[in-house]
């Protein structure tokens, strides 16, 4: 079976050398996760790419911070992954005292009639 990309984090696999992503659904999920975790300016030749969610961890957790994160994620997904539609975006498991942020992202890919869920805790 053909592979689309290497699975991150890198792990060794006896068949391919490294664990590979062989389903488009898994590839899209990994790409959304990388888009959210990448800081703007971190990706070579794409200075505007990335949400940079870690930069929000040390701000005061107020409703405007969640709104700014929400807007940034929607903006970045629309720009860099236009085939993906965000259906639901919630912040759960966030704890300002320990500087943790929980993100629950439900999305769909209409062209292949599939949907998935991404949960990240930073």
DSSP per-residue letters across 45-76: T-TT----GGGGTTS---HHHHHHHHHHHHHH
C-alpha span between 122 and 109 (Å, rounded): 25
**Angle 44-46-32 from CA coordinates, rounded to 5°:** 100
CATH number of 24-121: 3.10.450.40
pTM confidence score? 0.89
Summarize the chain as % helix, strand, coil (round to 5): 35, 25, 40
Euclidean distance between the first and final Cα of the chain, in Å? 34
- What pLDDT sits at residue 89? 96
Q: Is 78 helix (H, G, I), strand (E, B) or coil?
A: helix
C-alpha span between 105 and 21 (Å, rounded): 21
Spatial contact of 115 and 106, defined as CB atoms under 8 Å apart: yes
pLDDT band at 74 (very low <50, low <70, confident <90, very high): very high
Q: What is the pLDDT of residues 26-70, one digit of tens each?
A: 999 999 999 999 999 999 999 999 999 988 887 777 768 889 999
**Which structure tokens are listed for 78?**
């629309």
pLDDT band at 81 (very low <50, low <70, confident <90, very high): very high
Domain residue extents for the chain: 24-121
């Amino acid at each position: 079976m053909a592979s689309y990309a290497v699975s991150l984090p890198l792990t060794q696999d006896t068949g391919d050398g490294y664990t590979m992503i062989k389903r488009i659904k898994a590839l899209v999920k990994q790409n959304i996760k990388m888009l959210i975790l990448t800081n703007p300016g971190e990706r070579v030749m794409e200075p505007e790419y990335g949400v940079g969610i870690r930069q929000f961890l040390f701000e005061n957790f107020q409703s405007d911070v969640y709104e700014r994160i929400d807007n940034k994620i929607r903006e970045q997904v629309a720009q860099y992954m236009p085939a993906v539609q965000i259906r639901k975006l919630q912040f759960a498991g966030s704890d300002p005292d320990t500087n943790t942020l929980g993100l629950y992202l439900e999305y769909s890919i209409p062209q292949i009639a599939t949907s998935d869920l991404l949960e990240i805790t930073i």
